[in-house]
A and B are shown apart, each in its own frame.
Chain A
């Protein structure tokens, strides 16, 4: 694979510059965010490149597993940030339980049963695949959580009325839970629908550029898509099965 020279890579920033000028010209407020985002993306990826280089070189199972746990922690912090409101402790517990269980179960299954790497804890496989699985589950839970919180707020009268009519708390919030599950899983399903026709996914494109045959690349891509679907649905399933309790007390009363 031909390497990209740094001087040539700088030319890629021409698109950011174009967007910046356009935003300034049209007085769109996000021009500073664009610069910050581009800057952070660059620094974060450079750091990630060096850190990954070290992890791959050291090839130590403890470091590989610790890295995956660090990724989980960052994902949880990110979900907290995206929620844009203070999350109660029970909701945070539910987010943590669902994200870690949903992603780790699928990751172990996927690597040990589907991929079967040459050496058991080879970070070359674990880290990138963990990144994709945790990243997608994080997006799923974020969307699910936001949909849930918005709907609980806008439909609190209906939840309360359902309780007045004698509903069990889980049934009183059932429709809202289903909606948030749907919202969380929809981006993954949509991306499966368009895959290979409308766009070539990043991992597959990367493998092809790196010299793998497209047939090997699609095997990985199909595998990882199923893994992503599995981890998003398992995470959001655990999330919706546990989070509803956060909205009720032990006397089955609604706490908004």
Chain B
């Protein structure tokens, strides 16, 4: 197995104590740990929106400090735990990532198909202010899937979804992973969720370790 990310002796303030771990290519990886154990921070390290206090992170063998960081973030997109939408409609929020990355906007019927796939019954012109937390979270996931990144990082992707919807979303993400070469890395504190992953990284008390 080829390593996708290698983190060497990374630390972050007093949240993450010296940790070394490897995330492998072409797998679904789950990062497990209790709340406040540094899962979200670790995901931010992987896409370069935060840096560890010390230690090195390699992406496909290259130190991410040596890569054009904006280009790296476009390859490794992060869906945050707390959904953040921009004022406007569902449509404007779905395409904002594509606009940022100057990518082609797909036709509306394709976007509508995504909404159906994620069990979202509103129209593309729906105002974002009428969305529930779970609906907003799914819109954020679709927004990042549309970017077709090499790696999709998801921070507690099912935290505001009911069990059935959570299962459905996870099943959908697994299908995306099987259909395309998209790597999926998600954080979770639910064992049920992480049981679907090929590789589990357990963040123990202030220390990380990887198990296959």
Footprint of B on A, CB under 8 Å? 157-158, 160-168, 171, 251-254
Contact = CB atoms under 8 A, between A and B. Distances in A.
A251 B48 contact: yes
Contacts of A254: 49
Nearest to A166: B74
Interface stretch (B79-87, B176-184, B189-197): B79-87
Contacts of A166: 70, 73-74, 77, 97, 100-101, 147
Nearest to B47: A164
A167 B84 CA distance: 15
Interface in B41-73: 47-51, 65, 69-70, 73
B100 A252 contact: no
Interface of B: 47-51, 65, 69-70, 73-74, 77-80, 82, 84, 86, 96-97, 100-101, 143-144, 147
Nearest to A172: B100
Contacts of B86: 158, 161
Given A166-B74, A168-B70, A253-B49, A160 B100 contact: no
The 5 closest A-B pairs by CB, nearest first: A166-B74, A165-B97, A161-B84, A164-B78, A157-B84
Contact of B49 (A157, A164, A168): A164
Given A157-B82, A253-B49, 4 more contacts: A164-B77, A164-B79, A165-B77, A165-B101
B72 to A, nearest CB: 9
Contact of B144 (A157, A162, A165, A168): A165
A110 to B, nearest CB: 41
Given A168-B70, A251-B69, A252-B70, A163 B49 contact: yes
Given A171-B100, A251-B51, A164 B70 contact: no
A214 to B, nearest CB: 48
A171 B187 CA distance: 28
B154 to A, nearest CB: 11
A163 B73 contact: yes
A161 B73 CA distance: 11
A254 B101 CA distance: 18
A157 B140 CA distance: 13
A173 to B, nearest CB: 13
Contacts of A165: 73, 77, 96-97, 100-101, 143-144, 147
Nearest to B51: A251
A168 B78 CA distance: 15
A71 B126 CA distance: 53
A70 B171 CA distance: 68
A164 B47 CA distance: 8
Contacts of B101: 165-166
Contacts of A253: 48-51
Contacts of B144: 165
A225 to B, nearest CB: 35
A167 B100 contact: yes
Contacts of A158: 84, 86
Contacts of B82: 157
Most chain B CB neighbours (cut-off 10 Å) among A162, A165, A251 = A165
Nearest to A168: B70
A165 B101 CA distance: 8
Contacts of B47: 164
Most chain B CB neighbours (cut-off 10 Å) among A161, A171, A251 = A161
Contacts of A161: 80, 84, 86
A252 B143 contact: no
